[in-house]
């Protein structure tokens, strides 16, 4: 009996630990919008920052936990000046998204995922069940941190401190 419980516990935990190192083709082809309302693919966004480490913050202006995490994100921005801070909003209202950026004084690169939090190939790839969600991509486009939900998570600084 104990063996069966242990077996299922290990099986459950191993299935729930996601650590992909690259984005799926579907996720890369998903679209976002720039702050100027131009449509752009996730792949094109990531290519803009190729050669730099990218901290991705998936957030929304209505998300209390996202707002609570902003001071930690801003501290990371002060400490890691060479890192690109890429904010992907899952707001479904562009005006609310833009207002949130201004209201909370969020500095960085901003895009909106127009399908929101519950649909779209990019959010499906992330298996997005909760925001904020933090992902870190290295200079070559490899995902080096796939799933952090607190900006104060020590794993974020660990990967930001690593050099190629």
Task: Look at residue 53 and tell me whether its pLDDT is greater than 70.
Answer: yes
Residue 143, strand partner residues? 137
pLDDT tens digits, one per residue of 29-44: 999 999 999 999 999 9
User: Which pairing describes strands 39-41 and 31-34: parallel, antiparallel, or unpaired?
Assistant: antiparallel
Residue 68, strand partner residues? none
* pLDDT at position 162: 85
Are 63 and 132 in contact by the 8 Å Cβ rule? The answer is: yes
pLDDT tens digits, one per residue of 17-28: 568 999 999 999
Confidence category of residue 84, pLDDT binned at 50, 70, 90: very high
105 torsion bin: left (phi>0), alpha (psi -120 to 50), beta (else): left
CATH number of 19-161: 3.40.30.10
Are 55 and 76 in contact by the 8 Å Cβ rule? The answer is: yes
Query: Residue 36: in which H helix or E strand, if any?
Result: none
Its pTM stands at: 0.86
The span from the CA of 148 to the CA of 130, in Å, is 10
Average pLDDT over residues 42-53: 96
Neighbour count for residue 40 (Cβ, 10 Å):
13
* pLDDT at position 118: 86
The full set of domain ranges for the chain reads 19-161
Q: Is the peptide bond before 132 cis (omega within 30 degrees of 0)?
A: yes
Confidence category of residue 9, pLDDT binned at 50, 70, 90: very low
Phi, psi for residue 34 in degrees, rounded to 5 = -80, 170
């Amino acid at each position: 009996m104990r063996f069966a419980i242990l077996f299922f516990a290990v099986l459950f935990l191993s299935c729930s630990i996601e650590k992909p190192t690259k984005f799926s083709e579907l996720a890369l082809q998903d679209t976002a919008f720039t702050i100027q309302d131009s449509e752009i693919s996730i792949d094109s966004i990531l290519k803009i920052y190729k050669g730099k480490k990218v901290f991705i913050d998936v957030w929304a202006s209505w998300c209390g936990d996202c707002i609570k995490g902003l001071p930690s994100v801003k501290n990371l921005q002060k400490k890691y000046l060479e890192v690109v801070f890429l904010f992907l909003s899952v707001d479904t209202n562009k005006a609310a998204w833009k207002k949130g950026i201004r209201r909370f004084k969020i500095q960085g690169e901003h895009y909106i995922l127009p399908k929101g939090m519950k649909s779209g190939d990019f959010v499906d790839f992330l298996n997005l069940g909760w925001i904020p969600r933090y992902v870190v991509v290295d200079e070559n486009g490899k995902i080096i941190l796939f799933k952090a939900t607190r900006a104060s998570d020590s794993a974020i600084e660990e990967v930001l401190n690593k050099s190629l």
